Amino acid sequence: MIKVKKDCINVRVQEFTEGKVFSLSGECNSSLSDLELEIDIEADEILSFTTQQIYSYSKAFSYYNKLAVDEIPSEEPPKEVIEQIRSLSHDEYIKSVPCWIYPVFGMIPDYTVFSLLKKGKNYTALMTLSNGEITAYLSGNRVKIYTGYETTKINESYFLSVGVSNNPYEAIMNAIALASRVTRTFRLRVEKKTPKFIDGLGWCSWNALLTKDLNEENVIKIVKGLLDRGVKISWVIIDDGWQELEGKAMKGVDRKKFPHGLDYLVRSLKEMGVKYVGLWTTINGYWGGMSERFLKELGVKEYYSTDEGLVPSPKLEGAIEFYIKFFRYFPFDFFKVDNQWVIHKLYKGFPIGIIGRNIQLALQFALWDNILNCMSMTPENYCNYFYSNVMRNSNDYIPFWKEGAKLHILFNAYNSLFTSHIAYPDFDMFISYDPYAKAHLVARVFSGGPVYITDRHTEKTEVKLLRRVLLSNGEVVRLDSPGVVTEDLLFKNPMKEEVLLKIRGTVRGYVAIAFFNLNDHEIEEEFDIEQSKWYYKVFSSEFGFGKFKMKLKELDSEVVIIGDKPLIGLKEYLLPPYPLELVNEKTVVTRAEGTLLYFNGGLKEVKVKEGSIVSV
């Protein structure tokens, strides 16, 4: 399966029922900093995930983010975003800020980290790894190996995990599970603790305030405004903009914005009823590193100087010292740690596999699982997520942008096929009064990960929409586990083909399917289920048995619940079965007030109170 061009390189394969895991080692007379291996690729259909930045968002960021904070953009709105797949040198690749993955259909482009191949009725999943001294990527029928430094010797390092099955989801799972089992550098999502902030609804300051308007007064005003309108916010993230800068480096908290200090802000939010407060930072302290004065104030003795300023030491002990002292300095419950991809860029001249392991180990040693990982969809990060269990799952949400909403939902739906096995996928924040908020909310509920908003104007907040996902105790309705793209769409692009995007999951054992129209015109499809099972459309309230039709306009969404039990759920909620605790097929304890739907010769309903025991 793997062909090596250099005789001095040894490739070892470990074989399992579920697939194979490959490692390499060797000592040569010539440099091994860039190494290529040939791999046999046989496929009728291909779905790949590349870290190459194949979509340019810069104009959309500058235009729509200004609209969200009531500013008038100086430029024209961006035109249609075109997918641009290129062949890049490693230096060109690094300059492109490769921090996200993007789904690509029908090929394996440069810097691909995961691929699903279909040949006949069989599936093969390929996962490249960051391990030992290297990071690996796929490019067509080649595996590209990067060491990050000039060397003529590579100690044994795992570079590829291969999962096989006649079931595509099993093939994907097998590749990731084998990599976890063999490398022992990361664990599967189901083996790790669920992040504490996932259960409730969150608010993040980013699109609401950006950096200019972020301050103590505005944060308290907005969160209070949401709570006063009955939107129970359980957690808050103070995003970028809280820092005082020395040039491009961070030197501490901006006391003009936060005159009473960040500890006062945290106390104030918790006194209002917020459970958890998080703080944004980057894995290197700030985009431009940290000032020497700030590092001395922390008491950090060992750090590293790069073109990006002063950053954590590449040595494990030094990095641990930095992160422990850094996070103890700030009185927060969890941290959004951004810019993680930059490990690959900052520590050039060191073995990339070892550096990725050192930095991620140190970060998790300091915070354990209290991390929302961001800009981290690269192997040297997620291949080392031993405790980390939530990660941003795509490029940013951009407010009010129609094409951006389609791309965002598409990216997240497909990326989750891979990432949800390693961590809870975070589909990012959204504004509840965005024209496409309904589709954004449905996508986030089906993500299985955190659900959070970034409203600026609380008087515009779509309270009715948010109440469809919020229980009285602040809990957000959620699937039993992250939803997945349905099998018929694994190799189709619902933005380019006339098909509805479908994400499937379960809730309390019932089947739940979210439908989205990512085309620019209305689409209608038929959907078959067993004649003995009923379906219920959550937004339209349509109920029936067997085959049903789904007609959606552009960027509309619908949720369908499928089951065979008499009980359906509370119709006020986006996932009606979620607020129920089933005693048996006909008896339920209700966890919220609402209208209980059930089938008894037809669709029936009865008003119930929270905590009621109801038999139908």
**Which amino acid does the sequence have at 321?**
E
Please state the φ and ψ torsions of residue 568, each to the nearest 5 degrees. Answer: -110, -55
290 near 306, Cβ under 8 Å? no
Query: Which residue, among 366, 396, 363, has the nearest Cα to 380 in the 3D structure?
Result: 363
What's the rounded Cα separation, in Å, for the pair 150 and 481? 43
Q: Which one, of 154, 111, 165, lies nearest residue 23 by Cα?
A: 154
Contacts of 45 (CB under 8 A, 6+ apart): 106, 117, 118, 490, 491
Query: Which of 408, 539, 567 minimizes the C-alpha distance to 464?
Result: 539
In our burial notation (b when 16+ CB lie closer than 10 A, e otherwise), range 45-67 reads ebbbbbbbbbbebeebbebbbbb
Distance CA 241, CA 253 (A): 9
Q: Which amino acid is at 315?
A: K
Asked if 506 contacts 528 with a C-beta cutoff of 8 angstroms, the reply is no
Query: DSSP secondary structure string, 56-116?
Result: --HHHHHHHHHHHTTPPPSSPPP-PPPP------HHHHHHT---S-EEEESS--TTEEEEE
- Using alpha carbons, select from 158, 116, 96 the residue that is nearest to residue 485: 116
Look-up of token digits 């480096």: 249
The span from the CA of 21 to the CA of 179, in Å, is 7
The span from the CA of 291 to the CA of 229, in Å, is: 42
* CA–CA separation, 28 and 157 (whole Å): 16
Contact 129, 179 (CB under 8 A): yes
Distances (CA, A) of 380 to 117, 188, 375: 24, 16, 12
Helix, strand, or coil (residue 175)? helix
CB atoms within 10 A of CB 189: 22
Spatial distance between the Cα atoms of 152 and 432, rounded to a whole number of angstroms:
55
Instruction: Copy the structure tokens of residue 304.
Output: 């590293």
CA-based Rg of the chain, rounded to a whole angstrom?
25
> Which secondary structure element, helix H or strand E, spans residue 403, and what is its range?
helix 402-419
Burial of 17 (0-12, 13-18, 19+ CB in 10 A): exposed
- Asked if residue 43 lies in contact with residue 489, where contact means CB atoms within 8 angstroms, the answer is no
Q: What token pair was written down for 35? A: 């190494």
Mapping DSSP to helix (H, G, I), strand (E, B) and coil, where does residue 286 land? coil
Hey, which residues are catalytic here? 338, 396
Helix (H, G, I), strand (E, B) or coil at 543: strand
Record the tokens describing residue 591, joined without a space: 């966890």
